[in-house]
Each structure stands twice: as structure tokens, then as C-alpha cells.
Amino acid sequence: MSAPSRTALIAAFAAIYLIWGSTYLGIRIAVESMPAFLMASSRFIIAGGIVAAFIALTRGFRATPKQWRDNAIIGGFLCLGGNGLVSWAEEKVPSGIATLIISAGPVFIVLMDWAVHTWSKDGSRGTRPNALTFAGLALGFIGLAILVAPDVMATGVGSLDPWRLLGLLGATFFWGVGMMIMRYTRDPAEPFTASGIQMICGSGWLLLASFATGELGRFDPALITSRSVLAWAYLVVFGSLIGFSTFTWLMKHSTPARVSTYAYVNPVVAVFLGWLVLHEPLSPRLFLAATIIIAGVALITIAKTKKTLANPPRPAVAALAASGKAE
């Protein structure tokens, strides 16, 4: 597999930065009148079905039984363990607090990738981070804390459902596990084929969770608002069809640490979108936080790590480092 162009990498990172920066609000609006797991299941089955149908019509949908199994597992971790738990938590937890907890994700991912490198017999898998990577993670978290501090103080974590908070922390962990399996599985499916399988199978896992939690028994379609429907449609097209597929592609062409930086950048994008679309005021705190976060992302991007891949070595993604973009 040839290395992607610098333009392709920049476009892909821009997509998950901008699109996923808007999905926090989309999820929050969608679950106002739609059950969380059922909402997530429906968005992924439609997006995954579209991806699979497009591939089948254009070049034929080909995947081995092993690739179906591997991507069904990955879809469980990402769609149910990651996105599903976030959707469930946001029924009760404000997006600012959710964002701060989810920002632990890059730390989990870097540590998991380091563990993969340490446990591999010849060090041929995983990545050993250096001081720049950890400095970048710290700056990213500090910047995000500055950004959401007013929301956290106004709400008060002590007044929130502890199970929902634990669910958010679990979501970051499960998402990281899914990323590791996706990155280092042997004989992986082509990225967009994998994306389709992950979303289709992930939808099934989410539907089971909806049954298990009793959502379907309490669900009344008549109560769904047009506001939630529009948010759901946005999540289908942009969050899943475009965003998730782009994320899967990036996981084949960049490092987990770089890809995970979306968790730092997305909240900044969300605030700027609030200013642009909803005419919400911008404060000096935002610019300070954005500057610190960008500095952290830059450090993670330029960090020289001892990196090897699960597949045979291919050209390093030097273009991304040169571009100044990360994760």
C-alpha cells in the first residue's frame, strides 16, 4: 500500500476535526427525544449500509470471514463501547463535562500503543512515546480544561449521575481498545470496507444494548421532535458516513497518538461553530485555550517516535508532521 499524499492526510484530519467537533451538539440534541442506544444504532446501520452498497456497486464488496469477525469486534468497541456510551451519558451529562472526561482518550491510546510495543516480542508493533508526546498530551488536557472550566464549575460534577460519568470514562477506554485492534490486526480489510462492516455490526451491538436497557419498551416514536430528527440526520451523514469512514482510513495511514488528538481539537471547533452559527460570544479564555491545545497537538505531531507497523513497513507519514497537523 502506497503512502497517502500530504493533501489527502490534511483533508482527512480536517474532516474529523471539523465534523466531529460538531457532533457533540448533534448527539445532545438527538437524544433529547430519541433513546441513546437506539438512536446510535439507527445512524450506524444506515451509514454502514450506504458504504457497503457503494462499495458493492463500484468494485464489489469483498471481505474474508476473519475480516468480518475482526471488524465486528472493532465495531463493538467503537460503536457500542465508544459512541454508544457517550450518547447514553449525554442524556444526563452536559457536553462541557463530557468533553473534559473524553479528553482522557489520547492518554489511554498512547499508553495502550506503548504497551503493544513493549509486549511485542521484537518491538515490531506499537509505538514508544517520547517526552514531546507526553508534553503534547499534557498541554492538550490543560487547554481543554481551561476551555470547559466555566461549564464544569457551573454544573458541579458532584450533582451528576456517577454511572453516566463512569460511562464516559469507559467510552474513552473502549474506543482506545478498538483503535488498537483496528491498527494492529493482521490481514485487515480495505479501510472503507472495514468501515462499512464496523458500522453495520456496531449497529447490531447497539440494538442489543437498547433491548438490554429496556429502551425499546419505553420508546414512543410520536414523541420524537423535528429538532432531534434533523440532528440525527446530520449524525448519519456527517458523523458516521463521512467522519467515521475517514477515521478508519486515517487509522491505516497515521499513528494512534496523532489520530486521537481530535479529542482535543473538537471542543475548540465546537465553540467556534457556536460563535459562527449561533452568534455565541467568544472570550479571551477561548483563544488562550485554543493556543495551548494547538501547541499540544503540534508537539504530538512532530514528536519523533520509535514506530513500527503491524503490516510490512511502509513509508513513514512524514507529510503529516511537515504539515503541522496532528491526530
Return the percentage of the chain with pLDDT > 70, whole number: 87
> What are 179-194's pLDDT values in tens digits?
999 988 888 899 999 9
**Is a pLDDT exceeding 60 seen at residue 312?**
no
Return the percentage of the chain with pLDDT > 90, whole number: 44
> What are 133-169's pLDDT values in tens digits?
889 889 988 988 887 777 666 665 566 778 888 899 8
CA end-to-end distance (rounded Å), the chain? 21
Largest distance between two CA atoms of the chain: 58
Q: Is residue 251 part of a domain?
A: yes
- CA gap 256, 228 in Å, rounded: 32
- How many angstroms separate the Cα of 294 from the Cα of each of 8, 210, 272, 289? 21, 38, 14, 9
Residue recorded with cell 479529542:
263
The predicted pLDDT at position 14 comes to: 92
Q: Is residue 243 part of a domain?
A: yes
Number of domains forming the structure of the chain: 1
CA 225 to chain CA centroid, Å, is 26
The counts of H helices and E strands in the chain are 16, 2
Q: Is residue 222 part of a domain?
A: yes
Contact 188, 252 (CB under 8 A): yes
Contact 264, 144 (CB under 8 A): yes
Q: Is residue 1 part of a domain?
A: no
Task: Give residues with Cβ within 8 angstroms of 172, minimum separation 6.
Answer: 82, 101, 102, 104, 105, 108, 263
Q: Is residue 140 part of a domain?
A: yes
The predicted pLDDT at position 303 comes to: 75
Confidence of residue 315 (pLDDT cuts 50, 70, 90): very low
Domain span holding position 20: 6-323
Confidence of residue 307 (pLDDT cuts 50, 70, 90): very low
The predicted pLDDT at position 311 comes to: 42
**Is a pLDDT exceeding 80 seen at residue 59?**
yes
> What are 71-119's pLDDT values in tens digits?
999 999 999 999 999 999 988 887 767 777 887 788 888 889 888 888 8
**Is a pLDDT exceeding 80 seen at residue 327?**
no
